[in-house]
Structures are given as C-alpha cells and as structure tokens.
Amino acid sequence: MKMKIGTSAWSTFGVLFVFITSSIMPVNSEELTDIGDLQWRARVLLMQGSDQAKSSLIEKLQADKNELSERHIYWFIFQADSIDSNYPGAISETFRNSIKAEYFGNTGDGDVIILIGKDGEAKLFTSELDLQKLYQTIDAMPMRQQEMGKSNSIN
C-alpha cells in the first residue's frame, strides 16, 4: 500500500529541514560582518601580532587544527591591513574595523591574544599563544563540559 504525501506536507518538511540544518551547521558561506554572528556557534580567538609573530601563530594553529575544530574555534590574526583566519567564509572590512577598535584599540602594536567564549564574553587575555593553556581554559567551561559528551566540530 502506497502512502501519498500532499504538497503541503512536503512544504512543511522542507521548511523544517532548512530550519534544523541551519541551526546546527556553522556559519560558513556568509560574509562575516560582526563577531555577534558567531555567538553561540563558535569560540573566537582574536590575535594581533607582528609579521614575525604571524607566521609562528599560523604554523601553531594549523598544526593543531583538529583540536581547534573540536573546540569550535575560529581564529583571526589581525595586522595593519590584513586578516588571516580559519573562518571558511569571506570576512568584511566592517568586521576587521570593529574588532580592531573594540578589542585592540588601546593595545598598541604588541602581541595580544583574546579568547571570546560562545556567550560572546572575553575569557582569556594573553600576549603569548599557549595552546595547552587555551585548551585547559576552554575545557573548564560549563558549555565545553557538555560538548565533551558529544563528538562534534565546526568543520
């Protein structure tokens, strides 16, 4: 016996499918214009450093990409006129300007690293990237404790 599903049922299913997948999939195809776009979806690691520090930071971060992904971390390295990141979408000039003004406005040109939690609050300020300290800080967070019961990543 075949069961027929009307077009309204398929429409409802389609809307439900889009809603469910959009709420669990990371932001990745939209242009990133505001750090708030990542709230509740990812932790954010904001870094500002010299040219010498930049290559070392990128090397460390790329070597540990699985650990970073497991903890839902998007990282951004800001320099005078550029941003390097593991964020998969485009990054707007508005994003760059607002982050520099809000987080790096009073720091000068020194190395600065800031961890922003999924709740949008700054969790860690440091001048050196110590991934083990970063992971310990994140793994102690209540939301991360819940996540560790599940196997998921942002990529």
pTM of full prediction above 0.75: yes
Q: Which residue carries 């599903």 as its tokens?
A: 5
CATH number of 31-147: 3.40.30.10
The closest of 104, 100, 121 to 43, measured between CA atoms, is 121
Q: Which residue carries 């994003």 as its tokens?
A: 95
Span 107-150, pLDDT tens digits: 666 789 999 999 999 999 999 999 999 999 999 998 998 888 87
